[in-house]
Structure formats: structure tokens, C-alpha cells
Amino acid sequence: MKTYETMTSRERLLKTLNHEIPDRVPIDLGGNQTGIHKFAYQQLVKHLGIKDEVKIMDAVQQLAQPCEALLQRFRVDTRYVAAGAAGDWKGGIVQARRDGKLWHDLTDEFGITWSMPESTPLYMDISCHPLAKATLADIKQYPFPKGDDPGRFAGLRERALAIRRDTPYAVVSGISGVVYEICWYMRGLEQWLCDLLLEPEFCEALIEQTLKFWTDWFRAFLDEVGDVVDVIMIGDDLAGQDGPLFNPEIYHRIVKPRHKQLVQYIRSRTKAKIWYHTCGSCMQLIPELLDNGIDILNPVQTSAKNMDPQELKQRFGSRLTFWGGGCDSQHVLPTGTPDEVAAHVRQQVGILKQGGGYVFNNIHNIQGGVPPENIVAMYDAAYEAGFYE
């Protein structure tokens, strides 16, 4: 078997995304849904003898920004660029004491407050849904943020061009286009799911506001880097462990038209491939996502019900690139031995890489507490198993 590289990282990824056979499977790490928790990162760089201070790239998920030395050690083919907040946004993490605990609170641009206790600083959870008691009239009056605020995109083109001109890596956007999930963040999940059944007019009014935000956002984003980025990441979680989170007919009627409108707008403005993230058992929804116009599915949760990788590849592999699915992050990666992790990765890669159209990553982020030896075993096995004949 061939075990030497003949392509640059960008060449490798573009070939893969066009469903052609590259020299090896591209490898990814460093995004909001393909990242690493700060605690796992601390242990990993220590284990590898890499000196780096943890920089948080995603406060809600407490993800670390991987350093260049680690990305090179794991032969990662992607490099990320992301827009920021509006120029006049004054948000940030503040500390507050409640119920005898010290909390870290972050109120985002949509007015959603995320909180994390100092005693167990693993993630931020929503502590305030600003539209929990809102009426339809309240939506019309709510101060939604401005998607195309120029401050979001300051320096973005320069950062993206630096990757394109000065490195061999593919340019990938941060996560964006969260049209559906922001609605329940603002409303509360239980209330939102009730609304989908009982107050569809309210849901459509709210999702129209998030669609407007992201359409405005992408207008400005694509003006800046539509000719530079190779992959644009969007996404909303639509499924859980056992299947869709709500009736697929409701998805088709209320959510899908807005998803499709955004995807088609992006496609009209750039040649970049469009990556869609939804966790869980989403097999039933894949035809809808393909009809929307997506090119890539992440995180390919093969541990969920009806998500057999062989069936996914057989049914959709000619039209869809699978990005993820490389290691079971619920069972194998956190609790297996390094040898068990490596064997599992070789099996997953062997199935998913057939015919191209596969980018390796763990199933979603590497969580805190995963042994560093297992992370090393995962990436080394992915590299070795990823070569094509």
C-alpha cells in the first residue's frame, strides 16, 4: 500500500470534495464541531511535549484553539478563519454569584445568556431565554443583531488570503448559518417544540428573523472571502440519538424552506462547498438536506440509531461527502485502549473512504477527559489507514 503523500493539503481536500481519489484521506481538527475541549487539549500537548497556553476559541463549548505544532503533528489539512462579533457589541464573560456558587455568564448578541459554574467549568448552558414569554408582536419589536455589521469582518480577508497564499492548507470557515437552533435558544427548547405544533405562525416569524440575520451576514462574508474559502460550515442539530428531534413533516414545511433559501444564496455567491452539521440519527433527513443543496455532512454520528456507515456510504456516498464518523466519541475514544481506538478507526476509515468523498475527524468534538494516548492513536491510525492504493 502507498504510504507517501503526493498532494498538498488543499489539493487533497478539493479532490476529495469532488468525489475523486486523493493520495490519502484529508484530516481535520480545529473547528467548532471538529475541535477539542480545553481539558483534553491541556493533557494532549503535555503528553506530546508541545508548549502552548490554552486559548479558548469557543466559550460555550470551552474548545481550545489548537496550535500549529499540534496540527502539523497530526497532519491536519484544514485551517480555519472565522468572522467575529459586531463592532459595537460590548459582550464578554462576567462573573456573578448565585446559589452559593461563582458563575461565568456570557450574554450573546441575540440576548441569550450562557452560564458555567466555576466549580465544574466544562461547558456553558443557557440560563436565560430572552423570548421565553414572548408573543408574536414581541418578535416584531425585538432588537435582533445586525448580520452585516462591518466590524464582524475586519481583517477577515487578510487572514484567509494568508492561509491561501502562504500555506498548503485548505481554507475553512467557522460555523455559521445557524438558522433553526438560535430560535430555540431564544425561546427555550420545550416551549419551541410546543410552538412548532401549536403556534407555527410564531415559529415562522422567529425563523424569518434568524434567516434575515444570516442572509445579511453571508452577503458581507462572501463579499470578503467568497473567492478564497474552500468550505463553508453551516448547521443546526435536527436529530437525537434515536431519530429526528421533531416531526420531519414540520421540518419540510417550516424549517426546510428557510434552510434551502440560505444554502441556495450561498451557492449563488461562491464555489466553496457547503458543509452541514447535525448530530444524531439523521438518515431520514439526508434527502432533504441534499435537496437544499449541501455538499458535506458532519459529524456522521455512526453510534446513533440507523446510522450504519456502510449503509450511509452506499446510499449517499456518490452525492455527499462525509466529514467525521472516524471514531465513536461516546464509547470507544473515551474508554477504549489505544489499540482498540486504532482498530476502530481503521475499520471506520476503511468503510468511509471508499471512492473518495471522506474527510477524517472524530464524531464531533474531543471531550474533556479523553486520554491523550487515545487521541494520538486515533490520529495516527487515521493517517496510516487513509492512504489509497
Cβ atoms 64, 41 nearer than 8 A:
yes
For the chain, what is the radius of gyration of the CA atoms? 20
Mean per-residue pLDDT of the chain = 97
Put simply, whether the predicted model's pTM sits higher than 0.85 gets the answer yes
Q: Choose the CATH number for 9-89+132-385 among 3.30.1490.440, 3.40.50.970, 3.20.20.210, 3.40.50.2300.
A: 3.20.20.210
Predicted confidence at residue 2, as pLDDT, reads: 67
Predicted confidence at residue 90, as pLDDT, reads: 86
Predicted confidence at residue 1, as pLDDT, reads: 61
What percentage of the chain carries pLDDT values higher than 90? 97
Domain ranges of the chain: 9-89+132-385
Question: Mean pLDDT by 10-residue block, N- to C-terminus, for the chain (389 residues)?
Answer: 88 98 98 97 98 96 98 98 94 92 97 97 97 97 97 98 98 97 98 97 98 98 98 97 97 98 98 98 98 98 97 98 97 98 98 97 97 98 97
User: How do residues 288-309 score in pLDDT, each as one tens digit?
Assistant: 999 999 999 999 999 999 999 9
User: How do residues 230-275 score in pLDDT, each as one tens digit?
Assistant: 999 999 999 999 999 999 999 999 999 999 999 999 999 999 999 9
